[in-house]
Each structure stands twice: as C-alpha cells, then as structure tokens.
C-alpha cells in the first residue's frame, strides 16, 4: 500500500474513533453474546436522535431557546451513553449556549451537530455489520 493511501486510511480510522466507539457498558453485552441488544440500543439512538434533531431545529426556527436547551441536553445524554463523544460535546456546547448566544451561532452549531450525527451514524452502521 502506498504511504499516502496508508496515511489517509489511518486518518479516517482516527476520525471514526473520535466520532464513535462502543462504550464498555455496551461491549459487555457483545462479550456475553447479546449483540442483538447492542443493535437495538444503537438503532433506538439513531431513531430517537433523528426526531430530537428535528425538534431542535424546529425550536431554533421558532426562537424557543428553552426547548433548544432541553433537546440539546437529551441529545447530549443519549450520545454519551452510546459512545458518540464528539456529538455529545457539540450538544453540551449547544445546551450551555442556548440561552445567550446569537441565533446565527446556534444555527451554525445545530448544523455541526446534524453533520456529526450523520457521520456518526455512518460509522456505527459500518461497524455493526
């Protein structure tokens, strides 16, 4: 393999690891042969987060900062529980800044959270199969 290709592969692997890694609590299910439980939990995360992201964006468009903060808080917790640390950090930032940041900053942050969610779901899907 060419050095440039190897470097790119390593960079993608590192980025994927920062997006998502199976936490110890879920790894225990895998080790005891309950992969189905892990798959169910990850699917619930993906479905619930997609709905919450829609609510977050709706709340932003309505100017309802309290609802923005609440959705960001819920997304932060769910992301953290499944090992999506980068998404959890972005949601933490949204939660903290929801009441005082300019609307344009919150919209940019919401875009970053949605993008991180999409990339995280791809990594989860690639590693489940």
pLDDT, tens digit, 9 for 90 and up, residues 5-21? 555 444 445 567 779 99
What confidence score (pLDDT) does residue 2 get? 55
Residue 113 inside a domain? The answer is: yes
In a domain, 43, yes or no: no
Query: Per the domain annotation, does 90 fall within a domain?
Result: yes
Domain membership of residue 71 as a residue range: 64-129
Count other C-beta atoms under 10 Å from residue 32's C-beta: 9
Interval 31-45: pLDDT, tens: 999 999 999 999 999
Rounded CA-CA distance 22/17 in Å is 9
| Model pLDDT for residues 55-78, shown as the tens digit of each residue | 999 999 999 999 999 999 999 999
Per the domain annotation, does 87 fall within a domain? Answer: yes
Percent of the chain with pLDDT over 90: 80
Find the DSSP H helices in 63-102.
65-82, 85-97
Contact yes or no for 85/18 (Cβ under 8 A): yes
**123 is a domain residue:** yes
**Per-residue pLDDT averaged across 86-109, rounded?**
97
End-to-end CA distance of the chain: 25
Number of domains forming the structure of the chain: 1
pLDDT the model gives residue 17: 74
Structure-block tokens of residue 108: 């940019």
Predicted local confidence at residue 3, as pLDDT = 56
């Amino acid at each position: 393999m060419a050095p440039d290709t190897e470097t790119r592969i390593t960079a993608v692997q590192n980025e994927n690891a920062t997006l998502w890694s199976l936490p110890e609590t879920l790894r225990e299910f895998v080790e005891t042969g309950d992969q189905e439980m892990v798959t169910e939990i990850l699917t619930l995360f993906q479905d619930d987060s997609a709905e919450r992201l829609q609510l977050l964006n709706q709340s932003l468009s309505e100017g309802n900062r309290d609802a923005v903060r609440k959705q960001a808080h819920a997304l932060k917790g769910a992301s953290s529980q499944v090992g999506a640390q980068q998404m959890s950090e972005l949601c933490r930032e949204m939660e903290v800044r929801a009441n005082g940041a300019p609307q344009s900053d919150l919209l940019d942050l919401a875009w970053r959270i949605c993008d991180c969610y999409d990339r995280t779901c791809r990594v989860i899907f690639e590693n489940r199969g």
